[in-house]
A and B are shown apart, each in its own frame.
Chain A
Amino acid sequence: MNIKSISLLVVLSTLLLVQSCSALYFELNGGTTKCFIEENPKDTLLVGNYVLEDLNPQAGISTPLALSVIVTDPENHEVLSKQMGASGRFAFQTLIGGEYKICISTNSSKWFGPTIKTRLHLDIQVGANANDYEEIAKVEQLNNLEISVKRLNDRVTQVRKEQSYQKAREITFRNTSESTNSRVMWWAILQVVVLCLTGMWQMRHLKSFFKAKKLV
């Protein structure tokens, strides 16, 4: 078999693969932004793979599809801002633990056409799942068992990281609860004091008022 037929075979088989599988997808119209929230502990790798499908391909002049991804960290700083083509991948490492917002939008309508309707196949993997183990196995020449154990190792480390993140959050939660608890008491005491003071002021004022009017 010559190179040409091999490459044709490869192309056909990949086409078949594409046909038979598609990640979770949703409709994304031109100009709209869809945001996803990902909450992660720090030092976590987040990888997003996507394929953008044009639902109404128009013959003739067509602006190529572009996807814009903007990721903001829990303190509202921009971590990643990329413009990519019809399919691609974006990745970032979390520096602080918390909620990350991933906002995705396509380019808005072509100059004189109707709004672009697209279908976005999106797959976001976090932490240990974000590593490409097939690649690692090839590079480091590990057999099936070894790569499985390596993956287990990474996943268990992720579980531990998540647990320490949870512990820190639980501390914040407990502080908030205790603060609420003491606040309820102090503010109620303040209320009672204000009530008494208002009552006393009222009586004193009335007494002096009636004395002035010579009614008492």
Chain B
Amino acid sequence: MIRQTLLLAVVLCLAVVNVNALTMQIEPKTQECFYEYVENGKTSIILYQVIRGGLLDIDVRIYDPQGNTIFSRLHFDTTMKGRQSFTAATSGAYKLCFNNEMSRFTAKVVTFTWSFEDADNSFVKGDALSPMEQSVQKIERVLQSIVMEQKRMRFREQTNRDTSENTNARVVRWTIIQVLVLVSMGVGQIWYLRRWFDSKSTQRV
């Protein structure tokens, strides 16, 4: 049992070499925090994006293991690029928080990636690399950036599609409401006018 747990922990460690990405819905008036153990001197790159919800704004904060705020920003996805990197001054668990407390009704869907700058993910490592191995390494690096960009574009498309569907629903809803208001106003005017004449002629208008 213990052996299995350790084995799984080792598997998890091996899996960690890849990039950690999560997408989560943050309810109004709540905040969600994530921790990552960073060693002294390592540079972390955090990419985040708000995909859904209101003005696409979220409060982002990063804390160091001692609890000091190393980064704090109100992020608007329409105008800002969600990218932040920092170098760890001490080893410890760094905390990343997404705060939706400024919103009263809208939940926000936030996606983020926590990666390390010099994480070498490839199988071919070492100094004396043959030209073939060097090529493979270069392709791996470029492919990684293609995958990241594709992911980002997908999230943008999702946001645009949500806006479009929202617009569509709004057009129908508000037009129906407008027609109803128009008709009731017309009927109401006539009724009101009639009331003036139907009352006793001695009564003043």
Bitwise, A204-216 to B at CB < 8 A (1) or not (0) is 0110010001010
Q: Is the CB of B36 within 8 A of A176?
A: no
Bitwise, B1-43 to A at CB < 8 A (1) or not (0) is 0010111111111111010111111000000111111000000
Dominant SS among interface residues on chain A: helix
In this complex, how many residues of chain B approach chain A with their Cβ under 8 Å: the count is 63
Q: Is the CB of A125 within 8 A of B168?
A: no
Tell me the minimal C-beta distance from A34 to chain B in angstroms.
7
Contacting residues, chain A, for B109 (C-beta < 8 A): 37
The answer to the question of B164 belonging to the interface, with a C-beta cut-off of 8 Å to chain A, is yes
The answer to the question of B80 belonging to the interface, with a C-beta cut-off of 8 Å to chain A, is no
Q: Is the CB of A205 within 8 A of B34?
A: no
Decide: A147 near B123, CB < 8 A? Known: A21-B37, A184-B171.
Answer: yes
Nearest B residue to A128, CB-CB: B147
User: For the complex, what is the distance from the CA of A147 to the CA of B163, rounded to whole Å?
Assistant: 43
User: For the complex, what is the distance from the CA of A198 to the CA of B189, rounded to whole Å?
Assistant: 11
Nearest B residue to A48, CB-CB: B15
Contacting residues, chain B, for A124 (C-beta < 8 A): 21-22
Closest 8 pairs (CB-CB, A-B): A198-B186, A187-B175, A24-B20, A180-B168, A21-B13, A37-B23, A18-B9, A87-B8
CB neighbors of A among B93-145 (8 A) = 109, 114, 122-124, 132-133, 136, 139-140, 143
The answer to the question of A11 belonging to the interface, with a C-beta cut-off of 8 Å to chain B, is yes
Ordered by A's residue number, 21 sampled pairs between the chains whose C-beta atoms are within 8 Å are A21-B37, A23-B20, A24-B20, A38-B23, A89-B11, A123-B18, A137-B123, A148-B123, A148-B136, A149-B136, A158-B147, A166-B153, A169-B157, A173-B160, A180-B171, A184-B171, A187-B172, A195-B182, A199-B186, A202-B190, A205-B190
The answer to the question of A86 belonging to the interface, with a C-beta cut-off of 8 Å to chain B, is yes
Q: Is the CB of A202 within 8 A of B168?
A: no
Contacting residues, chain A, for B22 (C-beta < 8 A): 24, 36, 122, 124
User: For the complex, what is the distance from the CA of A205 to the CA of B11, rounded to whole Å?
Assistant: 82
User: For the complex, what is the distance from the CA of A91 to the CA of B182, rounded to whole Å?
Assistant: 56
The answer to the question of B83 belonging to the interface, with a C-beta cut-off of 8 Å to chain A, is no
The answer to the question of A92 belonging to the interface, with a C-beta cut-off of 8 Å to chain B, is no
The answer to the question of A5 belonging to the interface, with a C-beta cut-off of 8 Å to chain B, is no
Q: Is the CB of A123 within 8 A of B24?
A: no
Q: Is the CB of B5 within 8 A of A86?
A: yes
User: For the complex, what is the distance from the CA of A65 to the CA of B109, rounded to whole Å?
Assistant: 29
Nearest A residue to B19, CB-CB: A129
Contacting residues, chain B, for A80 (C-beta < 8 A): none
